[in-house]
Amino acid sequence: MVSHDAVDFGEFVLRRHAAGELVVQPRMGFGDPQRMRAGLLATRHADATTVGTLTLDSFTRVGDLESAARALREGIGLNGYPIVTYDAQTTGRVLHGVLDAEFPVQVRHGSARPQHIFRALAGAGLSATEGGPVSYCLPYGRTPLDESVRNWSECCELLLQVRGSGVEPHIETFGGCMLGQLCPPGELVAISVLEALFFYRHGLRSISVSYAQQTHAGQDEEAVASLRALCAELLPEARWHVVVYAYMGLYPTTPGGSLDLLARAAELAVTGGAARLIVKTVAESHRIPTIAENVQALEHAARSARARWTVRADAPAGSPRAGTDSQVHHEARALVEAVLNCHADIGRALVIAFKRGLLDVPYCLHPDNAGRARSHIGPDGRLGWAELGALPLTGVVEHRRAPSITSSGLMQALSYVQGKFDAAALERDRRPELGPAAQPIVKGELA
């Protein structure tokens, strides 16, 4: 194992949050070690409170290590860092002088069979990662859910071994980002909480719970408040924090629209009491962003967060109990309770719940997803349920009747946020009196 000074990811984020700072993080990953190191250094030196990211390539995510190795031999570019294919010493050189107690690094991947990734990250001296048995199974392939649950149970045991190096391992649920869009917030909250409980019952005590920005700011605030309330109740001995993701669906194509949407995500994180934000860049709609564009996004989010902190006069977010009186929370609690009533073992409970349709992600094509629930965007922009299927929300959801969604209607829903923010940016550019234009796209790379 490569040795680094003990780096506690969760403790760093909580400490910074207590000091009134939002930690911002890119989703950055490059196949070349020198470029990956350059990206980490640029992230560390950004004018923001940051943590680093090693986002892995698609071959490593699916366990196709032969293709990853061939790509490296033949000089074929990868869309992420192949941490399993490189030896621990190579990753150690990437991290040397970068990773320390003031700059933790997290491994992000997307695998339903991630044992090889957990072994590699621990061997490289890393202790923070993310994912989950549901959120890294249903959207990404056809791995059976019960197999994913077994795999992630093994991975919890692997991650717990990191404690032997003197640091508390950290894991983040991806459950609040299911498919990135068109899943009503109540179910996103429920899946994030259930995955956190899965990790908690497997012995992990440093946990973050995710939520992806959706279509309505007020509804998003309800969701983050609900997350905090449920975690305060169900994770009594854990050190946990909330992480917000900038919108995961079709991103605005204009620089102004992109930066405005990111600013709204930063404001959501601050007002909701989240401690960390995963950013997106002005390049998201058409290509992989450069290092410079990632830094621009980090700094823009940090400025937006500081402005929101100033507006709040550093007033802390409300107590977790404040999140219990909303439609989002009522739906989330009903879903969580229904799943926990399925079986005492949380992994078995998740499998049974999907089999019965008690959890059902709209428009998800995985064989273990019932596919009977449907969502829609209401006239006010809120995400709601059009069809419940077998979801245990009868009597909880009001006015759920909505016209059946067509293929064209689905495309309109998928592009709702993109169109809204692009239109506002273009109108602002046409009428300067509406406000200053967004910053232009940053060109070039940072060495």
- Rounded to two decimals, the pTM is 0.93
List pLDDT tens digits, range 260-271: 999 999 999 999
Q: Count Cβ atoms below 10 Å from residue 357 Cβ, excluding itself.
A: 17
Taking CA 252 as the corner, what is the angle to CA 429 and CA 440, rounded to the nearest 5 degrees?
50
Closest CA to 63 of 123, 120, 131, 135: 120
| Amino acid identity for residue 188 in this structure | L
Contacts of 69 (CB under 8 A, 6+ apart): 85
Q: What is the average per-residue pLDDT within 334-359?
A: 98
What single-letter DSSP state applies at residue 83?
T
- Which backbone phi and psi does 209 adopt, to 5 degrees? -115, 135
Average pLDDT of span 103-122: 97
Rounded to an integer, what distance in angstroms lies between the CA atom of residue 178 and that of residue 364? 9
Q: Is residue 196 within 8 Å of residue 228, measured between CB atoms?
A: no
Q: In the numeric block, which tokens belong to residue 202? A: 């497997």
Give pLDDT tens digits for 412-432.
888 888 889 878 888 777 766
How do residues 366-383 score in pLDDT, each as one tens digit?
A: 999 999 999 999 999 999
Q: What is the DSSP string of 150-202?
A: HHHHHHHHHHHGGGGGTS--EEEE-GGGGGGSSS-HHHHHHHHHHHHHHHHHT
What are 206's strand-pairing partners?
Answer: 170, 239
The separation between CA 428 and the C-alpha centre of its own chain, rounded to angstroms, equals: 30
* CB within 8 Å of 436: residues ≥ 6 apart: none
Residue type, 263: A
Q: What spatial distance separates the first Cα and last Cα of the chain, rounded to whole Å?
A: 29
Alpha-carbon Rg for the chain in angstroms: 21
Name the residue with tokens 């507006």: 311
- 9-321 homologous superfamily: Methylmalonyl-CoA mutase (3.20.20.240)
List pLDDT tens digits, range 61-93. 999 999 999 999 999 999 999 999 999 999 999
Report pLDDT digits (tens) over 299-346. Answer: 999 999 999 876 554 444 555 556 678 999 999 999 999 999 999 999
Return phi, psi of residue 242, to 5°.
Answer: -100, 135
Cβ-based neighbour number of residue 123 at 10 Å: 17
